[in-house]
Amino acid sequence: MKTLFKKTLIATAVSVGVVGTASAKDLVIVSWGGAYTASQQNAYHEPYMASNPDIKIINDDSGNDAVAKLRAMAEADNWSWHLVDMVASDAILSCDEGLIDEVDHDAILAAAPDGTPATEDFGNLIVSPCFIPQIVYSTTFGYRTDLVKAAPTSIADVFDLEKIPGKRSLEKKAINNLEWALLADGVAPDQVYDLLGTDEGVAQAFAKLDTIKDQVIWWEKGAQTPQLLADGEVVMGSTYNGRLFSVIEEEKQPIAMMWDWQVFDLDGWVIPKGAPDKDEVLKYVKFATDTQRLADQAKFISYGPARASSAPLVGKHATLGIEMGPHMPTNPENARNTLVYNYEFWADNVDDLNERFTAWLNQ
C-alpha cells in the first residue's frame, strides 16, 4: 500500500510538472501556411523562442478567412488569436470595422540600426494606422519556356492570342485583372484608376478581357498557377512572385518570370482588438519586425522586406545558396513597370466590381 501511495504521489508530482511547463505562454499566430509560414518560422519564431524559452508560438494557417473569423470572435467577444498576418487591404477593412488595434508605430517598433524611427524606415508602406508592414510582394506572371511560341515581354502579350496561343490562368476576381486589361489596351498608367471609376472604363476593361475569356483558367488559391504551369495545363499565368520563385528555383521547372506591370501589395501584422497577453504580443512584434529579422525572412522566400534599412542586408537563400536580390520584386531590373495596389480605390469598389466581374464570368 505504501509503495502504491508513493507511486501515486510521484505520478501526481510529474503530471503537475507537465502542466506547469505547458502553462508557459502560448502565442497563437495566424498566417498563410505553406512556404510563407515556414519563412516566418525560420526567420522570426525559432530565434524568438530560443531567446524566450517560456514562450511557445503556435502557427494557425487561417490567413484566408482571417477577417471573417475575427468578426465572429468580436461578436462572441471570445478572442483566441494573439497576432494575425494580413494583406494590407484586409487590414484596412478590419481597422474600419474596429476588429484590430490602432498602433503607435514609433512607440512599439524598433528603430533602424542607424536610429531612423520606424515610421520613416517603413515610409509610405504604413497604409493604415492598424497595419505593421512586413513584406512587399507582387502579383506577376510566369510562363512555360518550352510551351510558348515566343517569350512574353509585356502585359499586352498576355492578351495577345496570336503571339502566344494557349490557356492562361488569372485570378478569379476583379482586382489586378481590370488594371492589366486597361494597361494592355494602351491606357496610360496614371489614368488607370480614374478610368476604372467610370462605367465606360469598366466596360473597356471587360471588353479587353472578353478577347481572351475562353482561354482563361481562373484560379482562387496562390498554389494553383504554379501547379497548372507545372502540369502544362496553361502556358502562362498570374500568381504571387514567391510561389513562382519556388517552382522555378526549388523545383527546377521550365518556367520563367514576366515582371511587366507586376502589382505591388503588402503583407503585415495586425493585433486583434481583444487579443490576450498584449504585452507579450508587442514584445514579439518588436523583435519580429526589426531590421535584421525582416532581412532574414528574405533568405527563405523571395518577398522584399518592408523596411528600407533591411534591403542592404538581404543575402543568399538559406538552402539554395543563390543571391536573393535579383529575385526580389523590388529589384530595379524587375521593377521597371510596376503598379502599386490602390487601397483607397479598392476599399470603395471591391464589392461592386467583384460582383460585376462574377456576373461577367457567368455570361
Partner 1 sequence: MTSATATDANPAGTGEVMTADGVPLRISLARARRRSRNRALLLVAPLFLFVLITFFIPILSMLFRSVENQIVGETLPHTVEALQQWDESGGDLPPEEVYAALVEDLRIANETKTAGKVGRRMNYEKSGFASLFRTTARRIKRIEAPYKETLIKAKKDWGELETWQVLKRESDAYTLSYYLAAVDFSYTPTGEVLKLPDDRSLYVGLFWRTIWMSLLITVLCLILAYPISYLLSTLPVKTSNLLMILVLLPFWTSLLVRTSAWIALLQKEGVINDLLVWVGLIGDEHRLTMIHNATGTIVAMTHVLLPFMVLPLYSVMKTIPPSYMRAARSLGATPFMAFVRVYMPNTVPGIGAGALLVFIISIGYYITPALVGGQSGTLISNFIAYHLSISLNWGLAAALGTILLVLVLALYILYDKIVGIDNMKMG
Positions in the binding site for partner 1 (CB under 8 A): 64-65, 67-68, 71, 93, 95-98, 102, 217-218, 231-233, 344, 347-356, 358-363
> Least separation, in Å, of the C-beta of 127 and partner 1?
12
- C-alpha torsion angle, residues 198, 204, 205, 207 (rounded to 10): 140
Sort 255 into a burial class: Cβ within 10 Å, 0-12 / 13-18 / 19+. Answer: buried
* Closest to partner 1 by CB, 112 or 271: 271
What DSSP state is assigned to residue 316?
B
Output the smallest distance, CB 315 to partner 1, in A: 37
- What phi and psi values does residue 188 have, to the nearest 5 degrees? -65, 140
The position carrying cell 504521489 is: 9
Closer CB to partner 1, 98 or 123, in the complex: 98
Instruction: Give the DSSP letter string of 66-97.
Output: HHHHHHHHHHHT----SEEEEEHHHHHHHHHT
Minimum CB distance to partner 1, residue 349 (Å): 5
Cβ closest to partner 1, residue 31 vs residue 289: 31
Q: How far is the CB of 62 from partner 1 (least distance, A)?
A: 10
Residue number, 182 or 294, with CB nearest to partner 1? 182
Which among 221, 233, 230, 231 is positioned nearest to 251, based on CA atoms?
A: 230
Tell the smallest beta-carbon distance from residue 34 to partner 1 (Å): 17
In angstroms, how far is CA 338 from the centroid of its own chain? 17
Dist. CA 202–CA 257, nearest whole Å: 28
**In the complex with partner 1, which residue's Cβ is closer, 54 or 146?**
146
Is the CB of 128 or the CB of 289 nearer to partner 1? Answer: 128
Shortest reach from residue 65's CB to partner 1, in Å: 4
Complex with partner 1: residue 16 or 76, whichever CB lies closer:
76
Residue with smaller CB distance to partner 1, 112 or 178: 178
DSSP conformation class of 25 = E
User: Rounded to the nearest whole angstrom, what is the least distance from the CB of residue 181 to partner 1 in the complex?
Assistant: 16
For the chain, the maximum distance between any two Cα atoms, rounded to a whole number of angstroms, is 90
Please answer whether residues 152 and 158 qualify as being in contact, where contact means their C-beta atoms are separated by less than 8 angstroms. yes
Give whole-number Cα distances, 262 to 186, 238, 239, 339, 340, in Å: 16, 9, 10, 6, 9
- Minimum separation from the CB atom of position 347 to partner 1 (A): 5
Q: Report the distance separating Cα 36 and Cα 57, nearest Å.
A: 16
Q: What is the secondary structure of 139-186 as a DSSP string?
A: EEEEEETTT-SS---SHHHHT-TTTS-S-EEEESSSTTHHHHHHHHTT
